[in-house]
Structure 1
Amino acid sequence: MACKFYLYKGMGRKAENGHPWIYTTEIEGYDGTYENGDIVEVYNFKGSFIGKGYVNDVSKITIRMMTRDIDEEIDENFFRKRLYNAWEYRKKIIDTSSCRFLFGEADFIPGLIIDKYEDYYVIQSLALGIDRYKDIIVKILQEDFAAKGVYERSDVKVRKLEGMEQTKGFLTDSFDTIVQITENGVKYNVDIENGQKTGFFLDQKENRHAIHRICKNADVLDCFTHTGSFALNAGIAGAKSVLGLDISQLAVDEATRNAELNGISDVVKFECHNAFDVLHQWVKEGRKYDVVILDPPAFTKSRSTINSAVRGYKEINLRGLKMVKPGGFLVTCSCSHFMNPELFKETIADAAKDARRMLRQVEFRTQSSDHPILWNSDESYYLKFYIFQVV
């Protein structure tokens, strides 16, 4: 018999409307016994069933909901059905040669990320409850989705909030963890063992393609280039020249190799710089580009650091705007959930005012559609992406 949790009066309305998390502060009590990681049932203060999910009282997110059907068992068939649904969705909406195969709560398996790089899969477990099912997930990926190998990248700090250790390694027989993928006609060598996130930033796939039409015959500056993805897309699209900047020499070296892989090293170059410092210097020198791309890391990962993040986003956009030729284009992004769309918009507007430039919006986009935004879970919405003409 599953342990039953009951919520305080006035609590749980978001959960009843589809939000997948139950917080510690919402729980009045429970009947029965449980171990962390167990599947438990959740009821509102009236005793009406809300759903079932796995529990972890170490985490502020005490219960993560898996199903709203009291009779649905959380077993191998459950995970097979969820994975099939995720795959069928992606086959309809995106190139699936490499993509996010499963996006946690937005695909109704909380705490689990699965990324697909050609025939190899990387999984990331962000919650204690899902760790119990890793063997089942790997089995399904091999048997039903022809996975040649599966690697775990659960080496993320958020696991500490769940009372879990960071971990990474092979979940199948070992294989070469440098996997070559092709996206938007651009080839990349993806390091799934040591690369950022699970090896690559798949969430910008469609946004990278969106810059192609503005980069033809353009001089392009790509800041925070990481392994060069926006810069390489600009080069493939027919840019006259592309310079990518990153503070990490390792990233610059990898980006340079990716340029060589695509045969565009004569056009696409990379240099190791702190973008904040060097843009300040280059503005003074009067350097100008047809297209400036700003894709910084998340300046904030919590509500407590939003103010400093706003200052960071304003400063980098101010400097970027000053380097765009009249009639040129600014591409600017924020990948922080806590930098909400309205605040990001206001921050860019403030930067434009101080730079004495006018912005004409060409396009606003979010994360690629293999990272779906679940309206019942606003945490699934994090990426904001603008293209502006600067006049």
Structure 2
Amino acid sequence: MAQLILEPGKERSLFRRHPWIFAGSVKQLSGRARPGDTVEVASADGRVLARAAWSPESQIRARVWSFDPAESIDDAFFKRRVAAAVARRAALPELAGQSGLRLIHAESDGLPGVIADRYGDTVVVQLTSAGADKWRDAIAGALVKATGCGRIFERSDSEVRALEGLAPRTGWLLGEASDSPLLIEEHGVRMTVDIESGHKTGFYLDQRDNRRLLGELARDKRVLNCFCYTGGFSLQALAGGARQVVSVDSSQPALDTAAANLALNPQLDAGRAEWRCANVFDELRRLRPRREDESGPAQAGEQYDVIVLDPPKFAPSARHAEQASRAYKDINLQGFKLLAPGGFLMTYSCSGGIGLELFQKIVAGAARDAGRSARIVRRLQGAADHPVDLAFPEGEYLKGLLVQVD
């Protein structure tokens, strides 16, 4: 086994049990290792500290599998780690009976670069690191043993694979596609999941609890859902008794799926739903009140009681933060202008390059520029099947605020 030797002082992050070793922390690699191979990690004074997966193409040169330098990284290791991740979720009452569930949340479950989501009898696995890619078969076998699922689909098509020197890869690892749509049920609402070409692994499981919260807020309210994708928030608002739900997305195929999802739920009043294919930035401006001196005659504009802003990732890394901040500021500013007195803004960022403190400052600036007094009612985060390891705060990518205006 090759040995990765750290620069002096760079072992401190490992003592804090942070699993990433950056290029600047590496003094040398003693021996030969191919991408994904397990290497021994040692401090500059020769102390062996961990075992990690080597990734020479990435700025994250190694990801720690185990902080026990004597632990073997083999098929049995992955069976133990996967079984432990599944057992942790089974111990949480709030996750009982969920037909859509995240089983493995990468570093936060001790499996860097491994995402696994379960939809009914199907597991979708996403491998984003060289180490995870090397152990593909072992991970798939461990998932079968831990879940009993007979179908596993790989969605290793994330852009971050390129940073690891890996080509995208998708396809069935076990089983084959069914003639019937893949369905899940969430808080009494049925939805389809497109595991082959949908976003992420097919669905945004991380927003499960926040969708339920919207349903609780929506009774007799006018709701505007921006970046609605396949309608998860929209359907929960209808289930909660919303008077009207206007849903906006730039993808007509996504809106078609959303409308089809609504049709799967005859208990919901389809007459209260409107689907608009538009650029959200443009649509928010079109809806807002307009003064006579701006462009043509004055318009009263629309007002909504609840607005959801759940955009795609604007800042995949910290170097995109400035540009992303402007985009977040823009949509939140327009959202505040459209809120009725006493209304709620549910606003989110899933960008790793935007921390919670910065996001809150952006939203506060948007409220100020909109001339609205507002307060945070609740801070929002991912569901319980998306845990965050205390030593790995980067795992908390989803952050949100529930804000109420005067």
Q: TM-score category by the smaller chain? A: over 0.9
* Root-mean-square deviation (Å): 1.3
2:326 is the alignment partner of 1:311: yes
Aligned-partner Cα distance in 1 for 2:181–2:133: 25
Deviation of 1:15 (Å): 2.1
2:60 aligns with 61
Structure 1 residue 368: Cα displacement: 1.2
Offset from partner CA, 1:186-213 (integer Å, 9 cap, x none) = 1110000010010001111111112222
Aligned to 2:294: none
- Quote the offset at 1:173 in angstroms: 2.3
Aligned mate of 1:344, from 351, 359, 366: 359
TM-score normalised by structure 2 residue count: 0.93
Cα distance in 2 for partners of 1:61, 1:345 equals 28
Quick one: which of 237, 252, 261 aligns to 1:249? 252
Name 1:275's counterpart in structure 2. 280
* DSSP-derived class of the 1:257 partner: helix
CA distance in 1, matches of 2:329, 2:143: 43
Alignment-mate amino acid for residue 176 of structure 2? S
Q: Deviation per CA, 1:219-273, whole angstroms, max 9, x where unpaired?
A: 1110110111111110011111111100111111111111111122222221101
Equivalent residue number for residue 194 of structure 1: 197
Residue 78 of structure 2: aligned partner: 79
Q: Matched residues in 1 for 2:219 and 2:45: separation?
A: 62
Between 85-94 and 201-210, the greater mean CA deviation after superposition: 85-94
Displacement of 1:31:
2.6
1:385 is matched with which residue?
400
Instruction: State how far apart, in whole Å, the 2-side matches of 1:270 and 1:47 are.
Output: 62
Q: Secondary structure at the match of 2:377?
A: strand
SS at match of 2:170: strand
Who is 1:237 aligned against? 240
Range moving further from structure 2, 133-142 or 215-224: 133-142
Alpha-carbon distance, 1:371 to partner: 1.1
Distance 1:138 1:373 in 2: 23
Q: Aligned partners of 1:332 and 1:144: how far apart in 2?
A: 36
CA contact (8 A) 1:294 1:332 kept: yes
Query: Counterpart in 1 of 2:156?
Result: 154
Work out the CA distance in 2 between the residues paired with 1:63 and 1:74: 14
**Aligned letter for 1:103?**
H
Q: Is the 2:349–2:400 Cα contact (8 Å) retained in structure 1?
A: yes
Q: In the TM superposition, what is the alpha-carbon distance from 1:302 to its structure 2 partner?
A: 2.0
Equivalents in 2 of 1:382, 1:156: separation in Å? 16
Hey, what does 1:205 align to over in structure 2? 208
Q: CA deviation at 1:132?
A: 2.1
Paired residue type of 1:181: I
The one-character-per-residue Cα deviations of 1:97-150 (angstroms, maximum 9, x if unpaired) are 211100111100111110111110000110112122211222222233111200
In the alignment, is residue 181 of structure 1 matched against residue 184 of structure 2?
yes
Instruction: Give, as a single letter, the amino acid of the residue that structure 2 aligns with 1:312.
Output: A
| Contact 1:326 1:390 survives alignment (8 Å) | yes
Q: What amino acid is the match of 2:325?
A: V
**Unpaired runs of at least 5, structure 1:** none
Q: 1:82 & 1:183 partners in 2: Cα distance?
A: 27
Q: Which moved more, 1:227-236 or 1:129-138?
A: 129-138
Question: Would the aligned equivalents of 2:102 and 2:205 in 1 still touch at CA under 8 Å?
Answer: yes
How far apart, in 2, do the equivalents of 1:37 and 1:299 lie? 29
| Aligned mates of 1:340, 1:129 — CA distance in 2 | 27
Q: Report what 1:131 is aligned to.
A: 133
CA contact (8 A) 2:37 2:134 kept: no
For residue 14 of structure 1, report the CA deviation from its aligned partner: 1.1
SS of equivalent to 1:266: helix
Could you tell me whether the CA contact under 8 Å between 2:388 and 2:395 is conserved in 1? Answer: yes
1:163 aligns with 2:165: yes
8 A Cα contact 1:256 1:269, kept in partner: no
Residue aligned with 1:171, SS: strand
Q: Which amino acid in structure 1 is aligned with residue 115 of structure 2?
A: I
What's the counterpart of residue 102 of structure 1? Answer: 104
Residue 50 (1) aligns with residue 49 (2): yes
Say whether the 8 Å CA contact 1:300–1:336 is kept in structure 2.
Answer: yes
Which residues of structure 2 form unaligned runs of 5+?
A: 290-298
Which residue does 2:39 correspond to in 1? 40
Which whole-Å deviations, capped at 9, do the CAs of 1:17-47 have from their partners, x for residues lacking one?
A: 1111111211112333322221110011121
CA contact (8 A) 1:178 1:192 kept: no
Corresponding letter in the other structure for 2:70 = D
CA distance in 1, matches of 2:204, 2:49: 35
Q: 1:225 maps to what in 2?
A: 228
How many Å separate the matches in 1 of 2:30 and 2:325?
Answer: 45
2:323 counterpart of 1:326: no
SS in structure 2 of the partner of residue 258 of structure 1:
helix
State the Cα deviation string for residues 142-201 of structure 1 (Å, max 9, x = none). Answer: 233111200000011111111111010110121228310011221110000010010001
